[in-house]
Structure 1
Amino acid sequence: MRINQNLLKLIEILADGQFHSGEELATYFDITRAGINKYIKVLREWGLVLSSIQGKGYCLASKLDLLNEVKIKQYYQSDNRIEILPIIDSTNQYLLDRIDSLKSGDCCVAEFQTQARGRRGRQWFAPFGSNLYFSMYWRLEQGIAAAMGLSLVVGIVVADILRELSGQDIKVKWPNDLYLQDKKLAGILVESASKTGDCAHVIIGIGVNLMMTQPDTNIVNQKWINLGEVDRNLLVAKIAQILKVKLLEFEQKGLAPFIKDWSRLDNFANRPVKLLIGNDIIRGIAKGINEQGALLLEQEGKIKAYIGGEISLRSDE
């Protein structure tokens, strides 16, 4: 759509963090000042924070580090596809719809998701250009059973990359979140596609809060935190590169080689937690994971393993 092309061009112009007058912008796009006001309204709906001052024009709250294919390729030379999608409903869905044309390690990354989703179909807040929205396709030759623990491996990989780039103490939370200062920093969503044959086709979605402001409280209803400013193009390249290597290792050796890393990064290790399973609440002390990816919980001196898709882990301190 032409309007989306104009909106993306407007973002490119405003990305420098400087003021641009309404008159200048109206002339550039050959529309009225009222038309520019409508464009600005849409950008705000996309989650961008803009200020407007009479006589000066419009300005983003901070510069935008827009995704750039050339920059990503400078950091990571690969025969795998890394596709940049300015506006998309969902990066996971985009790859799910194209599985027949993908090979393991192919990725896509977006500036803005209109229908972003998290675990159990929950809506995910995805403002334009503020965070990381990344998905990778992977084919598991051993079948869907081999995917057990995959989200834990992804969490370890992303946590270590974010620690390296930011210097901050990022932790993992079972089974699919990253935490910083006991607040949610990132989420991981692994989805499988229904295909015939023995192998499993999975899409790994990763969302990281980087420079998010004013999230929709109807969607973001837990404590959250931003990582802060990092080179998003470098971040995309590192995740694509290192995740591919680690997934190959996971396929060959399973979860066992990653358990020490999980222990090193575990946000709730040896802390009181509660598991929400349906209407039940189970309390205990978190004791890491086993080789099947189950959460280990100490209760009255005994260790019990919990695993399954409908379990939520919370602090009980």
Structure 2
Amino acid sequence: MQYRLLKPELGHRITSVNSTNEWIRNPEIPFGSWVIAEEQTEGKGRGQNSWQSLGEEPFIFSGKIRLSAAEISLPLVSIFVSSALLKTIYSFFPKRLDDTTIKWPNDIYKDDKKVAGILIQSEFSNGVYDVVIGIGLNFFGQTIPEPLADKASFLCEKQLSEGELERFANQLVVEINQAVITLLDQSQVLKDLVWIEDHSLLKNKVIETEWDQRIVRGRVLGIDELGFLLIMTETGQKIELMDTSPKFRII
């Protein structure tokens, strides 16, 4: 099949929108398109959650691509898009190498607080996935709402320079495309998973989560070739997690 990756020339910038993911899912918007918005009023999170952009300079992004279902693991798409975002962050803000990591399966954390979230939405038809990639990143701000004060933070300590947000978006498009290309080569997937694990908030951490209708506790071993989190429980059982549960926490 013909893959449809993001195209630099199909970028859009809009002032305000309900949701960039919903805007770009419009069938009239061609595959390869992407958009950044200055504001969204109904940002989407995972499940029934919403995404609340914080601060004076949020980064609100969505892109639309098409992939072969036979060759792509959607959990891997999520974690590899997270790595594309993290690589872009490191490129623009080298100081973040010391404190910013991926929290499996699809968040970016600065120290122990969330600064970005990724939402992958897909539709399957005739052997292909139509995939919408949504990214929210809190670049800079001066205040955090009280309910989020112990959970969220800003990536930067100062405002962005003129044109930096646009340059960041264009580099992110390049990194997302490279991540998808990497997913088509199994040897490269394993290589990049090593990089992801080295930049993982959960590396060697002990976590507690709900699994098989019970609460289990174990040490994180890494991420497998399908994007699942590998855990060794206290009883010596090796388990795979497809996603976090509401009771997922780092011990």
Partner residue of 1:299? 233
1:192 matched to 2:122? The reply is: yes
User: Given the superposition, is the C-alpha separation of residues 280 and 215 from structure 1 closer, same or farther in structure 2, using an over 3 Å criterion?
Assistant: farther
1:146 pairs with 2:73: yes
Shift of 1:257: 3.4
Structure 1 or 2: larger strand share? 2
Q: TM-score, normalised by structure 2?
A: 0.83
Written as runs of structure 1 = structure 2, the 5 A alignment for 1:129-140 is 130-140=57-67
What amino acid is aligned across from residue 195 of structure 2 in structure 1?
D
1:285 corresponds in structure 2 to 219
Distance 1:83 1:312 in 2: 38
Q: What's 2:104 paired with?
A: 174
Q: Would you say 1:156 and 2:83 are equivalent positions?
A: yes
CA distance in 1, matches of 2:195, 2:247: 22
Compute the RMSD of aligned alpha carbons: 2.5
- Change beyond 3 A, Cα 1:151–1:242: same
- Relative contact order, higher structure (CA 8 A, sep 6+): 2
Cα pair distance change 1:222/1:138, threshold 3 Å: farther
Q: Is the 8 A contact 1:144 1:199 kept in 2?
A: no
Q: How many Å apart are 1:264 and its aligned residue?
A: 1.3
Residues 224/145 of structure 1: CA separation in 2 closer, same or farther (3 Å cut): same
In 2, the alpha carbon distance for the partners of 1:227 and 1:134 equals 16
List runs of 5+ in structure 2 lacking aligned partners.
1-6
Higher helix share: 1
CA distance in 1: counterparts of 2:149 and 2:212, whole angstroms? 19
- Paired with 2:89 and 2:71, the residues of 1 have a C-alpha distance of 28
Residues 75 and 242, structure 2, Cα contact 8 Å, conserved in 1: no
Using a 3 Å threshold, how does the CA distance of structure 1 residues 155 and 275 change in structure 2: closer, same or farther?
same
Q: TM-score, normalised by structure 1?
A: 0.67
Sequence identity percentage: 23
Distance in 2, matches of 1:278 and 1:291, equals: 22
Candidates 142, 150, 153, aligned match of 1:225: 153
**Structure 1 match to 2:207:** 273
Q: CA deviation at 1:249?
A: 2.0
Matched, 1:183 2:118: no
Matched residue count: 235
Match of 1:119 in 2: 46
Q: Which amino acid aligns with 2:141?
A: M
